[in-house]
Structure 1
Amino acid sequence: MIKDNLYNEQLLIKVCMLAGKIMLESGAETYRVEDTMLRIASSFGVMNAQSYVTPTGILFSINESEPSNFIRIMERSTDLHKVTQVNSISRKISSGELTVARAHACLEKIKQGTHVYSISKRIMAASVASGCFTIMFNGTWFDFFPSVFAGGIGYGSVVYFHRIVEIRFFAEFLSSAIIGLLAYLFVLTGFGIELDKMIIGSVMPLVPGLLITNAVRDLMAGHLVSGLSKGAEAFLTAFAIGAGIAVVISLMS
């Protein structure tokens, strides 16, 4: 009996930690991650669980006196489909539809799953979004297709450079520089008209909109450490984009 209880306790900890890790790596807000972990624990009868989440790590304990468990978060991306899947598992646990073992198996399946959209589909979506943003910012239809091309190349460059260089700042800097160079060449060859509109539209898929939103929501929820760190990360991304464009424009002018 004692061994069974210990096994279930350890498995519950794994379920809570795995749910939090998947959500945090997929772009969920820290307060939402903490809430999901605590809800899962309480659904299995653990009412005094403690959870502390930052963008780079998760601490969890089933009560105040037990040792804390820690997971380091190395990679963070945007995959709201996985966040939705974990939330669905959490709701099923709350309604009593899943056991601890079954919940762990479902979360492992979600963890092993690939991104819901392939890289080619994401590049295509970024391309179309770039052209639409150019029109939205009062660009002309002559700049639509150059923006589509530059935005797609720029987004694909981020994915490629990030695989080579782990520091995302350099990947975003190089990608924005490529976008600025392409836009400048399009205007120079007469394929495009308004340089500023094409650049603005093409860099929009790189803008950390979700990161900024999560930073504000974490700050409003009282998670100051997470909110400030995400805000700093968003600032660095915006700075990398602006610096890449600025370098190209200054060199070409």
Structure 2
Amino acid sequence: MAYNPKQLAVNCSLLAGQLLIENGANMERVNDTMYRIAENAGLHAFQAFTTVTGIVVSAEHESNAQTVDIRARHNDLSKVARVNEISRLFATKKISLSEMYTQLKKVDKGTPQLSITTQCLGAAVLSLTLMIVFTGDVKDSWAAFLIGGACYWIYLYLLRKFKIKYIGEFVASLLIGFLAVLTTKLGWTGNLNDIIIGSVMPLVPGVPLTNAARDLVSGNLISGPTRALEAIITAMAIGCAIVIVLRYA
């Protein structure tokens, strides 16, 4: 489909903003990238209204605004880095507007995700490492490695099946608590709390909390509280599951 230059510039800015929000960028970065693309493309009177669930864009005082609905959000910082790289290439005139749009579409559709096995292995290594860092317990770190990796697989499975991450986080945390209690009662491990601390780390909402703080500091009073609430609900799902297990174990 052929676009006129102004419409193509709006589409590029909108797609870049969508990719950044969907993959874990904070709103200050989103707005900065969108406005830079518009400026370098020669758009005048460019305005963008961004939230974690949608973007509204207008330019050249035209009556029709462009919108995009954002329903899924992940933490894929490789896509964020790629969008920023493409934006810089366009700013330095190394690629044209149409080339930028083509590359952004490739990032949207063609960037492969890590396999389930790789993600679970990464979660297992993270659980082991952070357990040692936070608690200094090396002897029981093998349990955090196995429990953290296995329960992260459960989380990914439930996320794909129900499309509600809080269900996956709650159930995975329940299993983490149960397995930690089980290995302790069987005498295989010695410190229940250390294993739980390490195993839940892959589920902890670090990126949403960081982005919430950055959005609040930068004055974005819509996305900041929204992301903070999202992180709080995740923390509640994890905490309530662990409390249930420890209460009735």
Q: One fold, TM greater than 0.5?
A: yes
Alignment match of 1:215 (pick from 204, 212, 215):
212
Structure 2 CA distance for aligned equivalents of residues 47 and 93 of structure 1: 17
CA RMSD of aligned residues (A): 1.4
Q: Partner amino acid for 2:148?
A: G
Q: Which residue of 1 aligns with 2:163?
A: 166
Aligned partners of 1:66, 1:104: CA distance in 2, in Å? Answer: 23
> Is residue 88 of structure 2 the alignment partner of residue 91 of structure 1?
yes
1:23 to 20, 23, 32: 20
Q: What's the CA shift for 1:205?
A: 0.9
SS in 2 for 1:141: coil
Q: State the shift of 1:116 in Å.
A: 4.8
Choose 62-71 or 46-55, whichever is displaced more.
Answer: 62-71
Cα shift at 1:202 = 0.5
Aligned pairs (5 A) from 1:125-136 = 125-136=122-133
Q: Percent identity?
A: 38
d(CA) in 2 for partners of 1:144 and 1:81?
29
Count of residue pairs the alignment pairs up: 248
Counterpart in 2 of 1:117?
114
Counterpart of 1:47? 44
* 1:101 corresponds to 2:111: no
Q: Summarize the Cα distance change of 1:48–1:140 in structure 2 as closer, same or farther, 3 Å threshold.
A: same
* Structure 1: distance between partners of 2:212 and 2:152: 23
Normalised by the size of structure 1, how large is the TM-score?
A: 0.94
The CA distance in 1 between the partners of 2:137 and 2:30, in whole Å, is 43
Rounded Cα–Cα distance in structure 2 between residues aligned with 1:169 and 1:91? 36
Match of 1:138 in 2: 135
Moved more, 7-16 or 132-141: 132-141
Give the whole-Å Cα distance in 2 for the aligned partners of 1:57 and 1:185: 44
- Structure 1 stretch 213-222 or stretch 135-144: which is displaced more? 135-144
State whether structure 2 residue 189 is matched by structure 1 residue 175: no
Contact 2:214 2:224 in 1 (8 A): yes
How big is the shift at 1:163? 0.8
Pick the aligned partner of 1:56 from 53, 58, 78: 53
Q: Give 5+ residue unaligned stretches, structure 2.
A: none
Shift of 1:16: 1.0
Name the CA distance, whole Å, in 2 between partners of 1:102 and 1:203: 43
131-140 vs 200-209, which deviates more? Answer: 131-140
Task: Provide Cα deviations, 1:63-96, integer angstroms capped at 9, x if missing partner.
Answer: 4443221111010000111000000110011111
**TM-score using structure 2 length:** 0.95
Equivalent residue, structure 2, for 1:154: 151
In structure 2, distance between residues paired with 1:120 and 1:63: 48
Aligned to 2:195, which of 198, 205, 210? Answer: 198
CA distance, structure 2, for counterparts of residue 166 and residue 82 of structure 1: 21
More divergent stretch after superposition (135-144 vs 43-52)? 135-144
CA distance in 1, matches of 2:60, 2:208: 31
The answer on 1:74 being equivalent to 2:64 is no
Q: Distance in 1 between matches of 2:97 and 2:15?
A: 12
Give the letter aligned to residue 155 of structure 2: V
3-state SS of 2:75 partner:
coil
CA distance in 2: counterparts of 1:241 and 1:114, whole angstroms: 30
